[in-house]
Amino acid sequence: MAHVVPSLDQPSNYKDSQARIDRQKQNELLSKSTTLYIGNLSFFTTEEQIYELFSKCATPDEGGGIKRIIMGLDRNTRTPCGFCFVEYYTHAEALACLRYVSGTKLDERIIRCDLDLGYREGRQFGRGKSGGQVRDEHRSDYDPGRGGWGAQAQRAEIERRREVEERYMDAETGPGAVAGGGEDWKAAEGAENKLKRGRSPEDEDGDDRSGTRARLDDVADHDAGRM
């Protein structure tokens, strides 16, 4: 039902350039994805602010809701670097964000949302040389929400909100570093418990599968695919 204008929830040209899965498989995964990549965040925006805005698209009465939020961090400094992942329980909620939230403001910045293949270990970190997002290294405009003029000027401004900056100092790497957010309802103890658990794919599963694939000729950075 959209012959007159295109729907805003169509996939864009955003992609995870380090995904080692072919395009067709990626599209298939995206058509079921419950995860969003959120970009152009202020470095000072908190998960609670993100939760507040993105809960507007949640449908708990249909089994949905916000499963978890994974803040994108600078690999070196462990500080937010302007992106995050929001994971819902249902695909429809993610699509609703593309229609209603993407392109609106959060913390006085216009944010963008894109369907994502889903969080995998390590993706919470920026992929730029400096540790942040690649895009910011090429930035030449003044951006108060991200600490001044690109990578060089950032350091001075960062003092401004030490509290925010220190929040993720304890961020860990490796399996289990990022919480799951709670799975679907399971009947209490018993045989069926195991049965169900076997079916829910864990993050690590995804990794194992793709890890065995031959690496495609990815562009090395996370952001290049987005320009």
Give contact residues for another protein (rule: CB under 8 A). 1-10, 12-14, 46-49, 51-53, 56-57, 59-65, 68-71, 96, 99-108, 110, 112, 138-141, 167-168, 178-188, 192, 195-196, 226-227
Is 19 or 73 the residue whose CB approaches another protein more closely? 73
- Alpha-carbon separation of residue 185 from 59, 63, 192 (angstroms): 16, 10, 12
Q: What is the DSSP letter of 138?
A: T
In angstroms, give the least distance from the CB of 133 to another protein.
12
Is 3 or 215 the residue whose CB approaches another protein more closely? 3
In angstroms, give the least distance from the CB of 28 to another protein.
15
In angstroms, give the least distance from the CB of 209 to another protein.
23
- Under 8 Å CB-to-CB from 50, ≥6 apart: which residues? 38, 41, 69, 84, 86, 106
Is 49 or 210 the residue whose CB approaches another protein more closely? 49
**Pick from 156, 120, 137, 98: nearest CA to 221:** 137
Is 108 or 159 the residue whose CB approaches another protein more closely? 108
In angstroms, give the least distance from the CB of 12 to another protein.
4
Contact 115, 39 (CB under 8 A): no
In angstroms, give the least distance from the CB of 70 to another protein.
7
In angstroms, give the least distance from the CB of 212 to another protein.
28
Three-class DSSP category at 137: helix
β-pairing, 109-110 vs 105-106, is antiparallel
Is 108 or 212 the residue whose CB approaches another protein more closely? 108
In angstroms, give the least distance from the CB of 203 to another protein.
13
Is 159 or 184 the residue whose CB approaches another protein more closely? 184
Is 122 or 181 the residue whose CB approaches another protein more closely? 181
Q: How far apart are CA 116 and CA 54, in angstroms?
A: 15
Q: How far apart are CA 63 and CA 117, in angstroms?
A: 21
Contact 97, 85 (CB under 8 A): no
- For 38, phi then psi, to 5°, come to -115, 125
Say how far residue 215 (Cα) sits from the centre of its chain.
22
